[in-house]
């Protein structure tokens, strides 16, 4: 389930509904309040890094809105496509490369097949975002704070960091350290030089999907953080 938030110019930011993940909850449309989507984006071409880009749920709408995108993903299935049989039926996944080619976006999207924690964090992007990945087992080799800090350090001054994250619903989730309550996540994200624009508990949703097919519930939350401009050096 997603929300739609119109911009003053009438622009709406929605996910790519044809993505395998298209109907799963995200607060992504709320970014429309903070990032350029109209003529300015088409002319200036701001740069976004989508961490865990999968088959393009977020990358494609940003590209359509004029952005350049670096799509970071480790999963071959979502990059190259394939067929899978799950409890809820047969799925044909169209991979990110084919989706980019079908809309002619190859020249504006760089696909990086890596763990984002191995990439430089040089403050290069006007937007860095990730959704539903911070608690995934391969990321648990890092503390949650390191996962967030590395992603945030990829954001340029005046840029935005967006994270959909999950809040613990049971003891196991609450104790593992990867399902923080909003105040705990707020503490991680409130760093010197940053301003927390939004950090909200968004409610409980039921779902079943690749990697966790049994019907289960997640308590979703999201944060939007602004990297302030660097202080002007004294003359
Ligand atoms: C659960 S899926 C979520 C898909 C979609 N982003 C959404 O929210 O609906 C998370 C994706 O992030 C990718 N991912 C997880 N950790 C990553 C990492 N450290 N670096 C790059 N990709 C990662 C996974 O391979 C997976 O495709």
pLDDT in tens, the chain (235 residues): 666 665 555 678 999 999 999 999 999 999 999 999 999 999 999 999 999 999 999 999 999 999 999 999 999 999 999 999 999 999 999 999 999 999 999 999 999 999 999 999 999 999 999 999 999 999 999 999 999 999 999 999 999 999 999 999 999 999 999 999 999 999 999 999 999 999 999 999 999 999 999 999 999 999 999 999 988 888 7
Distance CA 95, CA 124 (A): 26
Nearest CA to ligand 1 atom 3: 132
Best residue among 1, 82, 111, 133 to mutate for probing ligand 1's pocket (most ligand atoms within 8 Å of CB) is 133
**CB neighbour class for 27 (10 Å; exposed up to 12, middle 13-18, buried from 19):** buried
Look at residue 117 and tell me if it is in a domain: yes
Query: Given this model, what pLDDT does residue 235 score?
Result: 75
Is 54 close to ligand 1, i.e. is its CB under 6 Å away? yes
Look at residue 10 and tell me if it is in a domain: no
Query: Given this model, what pLDDT does residue 233 score?
Result: 83
Atom from ligand 1 closest to the CA of residue 72? 21
Q: How far is the CA of 3 from the centre of ligand 1 (A)?
A: 21
Atom from ligand 1 closest to the CA of residue 15? 9
* Distance of alpha carbon 139 from the chain centroid: 15
Q: How far is the CA of 130 from the centre of ligand 1 (A)?
A: 7
Nearest to 210 by CA among 96, 114, 85, 92: 85
Is 75 close to ligand 1, i.e. is its CB under 6 Å away? yes
Query: Given this model, what pLDDT does residue 7 score?
Result: 52
Number of domains in the chain: 1
Look at residue 199 and tell me if it is in a domain: yes
Distance CA 113, CA 176 (A): 27
Q: How far is the CA of 136 from the centre of ligand 1 (A)?
A: 8
Q: What's the domain range around 40?
A: 28-227
Query: Given this model, what pLDDT does residue 181 score?
Result: 98
Look at residue 178 and tell me if it is in a domain: yes
Nearest to 156 by CA among 233, 105, 227: 227
Atom from ligand 1 closest to the CA of residue 53? 6
Is 96 close to ligand 1, i.e. is its CB under 6 Å away? no
Look at residue 3 and tell me if it is in a domain: no
Using CA atoms in the order 34, 225, 123, 150, what is the torsion angle rounded to 10 degrees? Answer: -140
Task: Say which residues have a Cβ less than 8 Å from residue 8's Cβ, sequence separation at least 6.
Answer: none
Look at residue 93 and tell me if it is in a domain: yes
Look at residue 23 and tell me if it is in a domain: no
Is 166 close to ligand 1, i.e. is its CB under 6 Å away? no
* Segment holding 18, helix H or strand E: none
pTM: predicted TM-score of the whole model, two decimal places: 0.95
**Which CATH number is 35's domain given?**
3.40.50.150
Tell me phi and psi for residue 223, to 5 degrees: -130, 145
Is 73 close to ligand 1, i.e. is its CB under 6 Å away? yes
Look at residue 216 and tell me if it is in a domain: yes
* Distance of alpha carbon 177 from the chain centroid: 20
Q: How far is the CA of 109 from the centre of ligand 1 (A)?
A: 17
Is 78 close to ligand 1, i.e. is its CB under 6 Å away? yes
What DSSP state is assigned to residue 17? T
């Amino acid at each position: 389930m997603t929300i739609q938030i119109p911009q003053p110019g009438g622009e709406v930011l929605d996910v790519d509904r044809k993505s395998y993940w298209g109907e799963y909850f995200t607060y992504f449309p709320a970014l429309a309040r903070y990032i350029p989507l109209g003529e300015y984006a088409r002319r200036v071409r701001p740069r976004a890094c989508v961490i865990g880009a999968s088959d393009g749920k977020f990358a494609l709408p940003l590209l359509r809105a004029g952005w350049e995108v670096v799509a970071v993903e480790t999963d071959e299935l979502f990059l190259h496509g394939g067929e899978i049989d799950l409890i809820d039926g047969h799925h044909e996944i169209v991979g990110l490369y084919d989706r980019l080619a079908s809309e002619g976006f190859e020249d504006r999207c760089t696909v990086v097949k890596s763990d984002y924690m191995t990439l430089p964090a040089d403050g290069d992007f006007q937007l860095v975002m990730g959704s539903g990945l911070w608690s995934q087992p391969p990321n648990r080799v890092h503390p949650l704070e390191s996962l967030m800090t590395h992603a945030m350090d990829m954001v340029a001054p005046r840029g935005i960091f967006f994270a959909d994250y999950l809040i613990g619903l049971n003891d196991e989730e609450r104790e593992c350290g990867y399902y923080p309550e909003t105040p705990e996540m707020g503490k991680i994200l409130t760093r010197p030089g940053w301003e927390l624009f939004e950090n909200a508990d968004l409610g409980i949703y039921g779902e079943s999907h690749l990697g966790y097919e049994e019907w289960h519930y997640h308590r979703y939350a999201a944060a939007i953080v602004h990297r302030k401009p660097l202080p002007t050096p004294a003359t």
